[in-house]
Structure 1
Amino acid sequence: MEGIDLHTHSNISDGTLSPEQLVLAAVEKNIHTLALTDHDTMDGLILAEKAAEKQQIKIISGVEISSQWSRPATKKSYGVHIVALNMKNPEPLQRILIEQKKVRAARSKQICDLLIPLIHEDIYADVIAKVDGEADRVTRTHIAKTLVEKGYVSRPQQAFDKYIKEGKKAYVKFEGLGLAETIDVIHQSGGFAVLAHPTKYDLSATNIRYLIEIFAQHGGDAVELPPAIEPASTRQMIDRKIAEHELKVSVGSDFHGDHMPWIRLGNIPRLKEGQIGIWESFNH
């Protein structure tokens, strides 16, 4: 299992390395199987594949899709990220990603507009400059970085906590695909649907368990294992739900780059006995 990282980001979304730099960094880390999973875009894939041509590394097609789900009892909608891996026929997914990009572009402008009365400045032009003028690449991380550079906060997390996370005045929900639709289009594209970082959505343990349950009911393929820094009890809960619903597992660092130095490329959790890696299905 060592040498696999199936959740990484480049500067095509909110990472700091170019796809080419990411591939070379992975080679230095002795990673032999790498998935580039930028947010709602596969635009970096060709660049990554080209960089890997003369290296001993296999590039897995990937994308991290912004999706949403809800509990029937409460009707409240929650955001969730689904990683699509190893698409054999990406056209259906690419069509959906065009729409996701439009949502992302509109959302970034909305957030910046909501920030104006809070900071008395329009930072939209500065945010767009970070993504070479391509508004559909903007994530909240780009907005947070801009707020740091402008001196409104001292670090990106403070920008989230003060302005742009859920419940704050400049928060705008990403109205992405529903969970069932996301899984369906991934399967239409010949890929595998992975529930990304299930413990990072600020959900109660009850809701995490329910999320995994409905993910499995809708045909999801694998759950990404929590990082080793999570409490043992959290990992045990995830392991139990994976076994209960006979899901495979995925491993990924969620590497973004130098602005998140605590997340290291290739630093992935270990599988427990009986767990089957989704990568074993890639060539079937």
Structure 2
Amino acid sequence: MHGVDLHTHSNISDGTLSPGELVSAAIQQGIHTLALTDHDTMDGLALAEQAAQGQDLKIISGVEISSQWSRPATKKSYSVHVVALNMQNPAPLQALLEQQKQIRAERAKQICDLLTPLIGQDIYNDVLLKVEGVADRITRTHIAKTLQEKGIVTRVQQAFDKYIKEGKKAYVKFDGLSLEDTIRVIHDSQGFAVLAHPTRYDLSATNIRYLIEIFAKYGGDAVELPPNIDPASTRQMVDRMIAEHGLKVSVGSDFHGENMPWIKLGNIPRVKDGQIGIWESFVE
């Protein structure tokens, strides 16, 4: 398991390294199996594969998909990310991602429009410059960094806390596919569906357990293990749910580069005895 990182980002979405630079960094860290899982796009995959040619590093096709789920009792909708891995027939997923890209582009413009009266200026064109003019690559991190660079906030996280996270005046929900449909499309693409960072959605323990339960019910394949900084009790809860529902596990750092310097490439949690890694099922 050492040397596996199945959740990373490049500058094709909200990371700071190019796919080629990410591959070089992974090799330096002794990683031998790497998945590039940019948000709602696989546009960096070919670049990563090209950079890894002739190297002792296997690139796994991947993408982190913005999705949503709800509890019947409350009807409230929650955001969730699903990592798709090792697709053998990516066409169905690529069709979905084209829709997701359009949603992402429209959402970015809406956020910037909401920010304009709050900060007294329109920053949309400045945000576009960060993604080489490709609007469907814009994430909230790009918007937050623009706010920081203009001196409107002092830190990237402050931009989220003050303006663009859920509940704030410039927040716009990503209206993605349902969790059930996301898993179905991944399986139609002959890939594996992984529940990304289940403890990172500001959910109660009850809702985390319910999320894992319905993820398994819909046919999800694996759950990403919580990072080492999570409390031991949280890891134990996730481990129990994985065992109860017969799920496999995945490991990933969620590396973004300079955007999140505290997250180190290849820094992944330990797989416990009896847990089966999803990478053991990958098609060569």
Instruction: Quote the residue 1:57 is aligned against.
Output: 57
- Give the match for residue 255 of structure 2: 255
Question: Could you tell me which amino acid in structure 2 is paired with residue 225 of structure 1?
Answer: L
Aligned twin of 2:99: 99
Instruction: Give 1:81-120 correspondences, 5 Å limit.
Output: 81-120=81-120
Equivalent in the alignment of 1:192: 192
Q: Which secondary structure does the structure 2 equivalent of 1:194 belong to? A: strand
Unaligned stretches of 5+ residues in structure 2: none
Query: Hey, what does 1:3 align to over in structure 2?
Result: 3
* Contact kept in structure 1, 2:87 and 2:190, CA below 8 Å: yes
Deviations 1:46-72 (A, max 9, x none): 000000002100000000000000000
* Aligned residue type for 2:237: M
Unaligned runs of 5+ in 1: none
Question: Is the partner of 1:38 in helix, strand or coil?
Answer: coil
Q: Secondary structure at the match of 1:69?
A: strand
How many Å separate the matches in 2 of 1:147 and 1:239?
39
The residue type equivalent to 2:135 in the other structure is: A
Distance in 1 between residues matched to 2:48 and 2:37, nearest whole Å: 11
Letter in 1 for 2:243: A
TM-score in terms of structure 1 length: 0.99
**How much is the aligned-residue C-alpha RMSD, in angstroms?**
0.6
Contact 2:86 2:283 in 1 (8 A): no
Q: Which runs of 4+ in 1 moved over 3 A?
A: none
Structure 2 letter corresponding to 1:196 = A
Identity between Structure 1 and Structure 2 (%): 78
Which residue of structure 1 aligns with residue 141 of structure 2? 141
Distance 1:158 1:258 in 2: 16
Q: CA separation in 1, counterparts of 2:259 and 2:79? A: 23
Normalised to the residue count of structure 2, the TM-score between the two structures is: 0.99
For this pair of structures, how many residues does the alignment match? 284
Residue 261 of structure 1 deviates from its aligned partner by 1.1
How many Å apart are 1:259 and its aligned residue? 2.3
Structure 1 residue 273, shift from structure 2 partner: 1.0
Alignment correspondent of 1:124 = 124
Cross-structure match for 2:269: 269
**Cα distance in 1 for residues equivalent to 2:248 and 2:128:** 38
Counterpart-to-counterpart distance in 2, 1:54 and 1:275? 32
| 1:162 pairs with 2:162 | yes
Tell me if structure 1 keeps the 8 A contact 2:69–2:77. yes
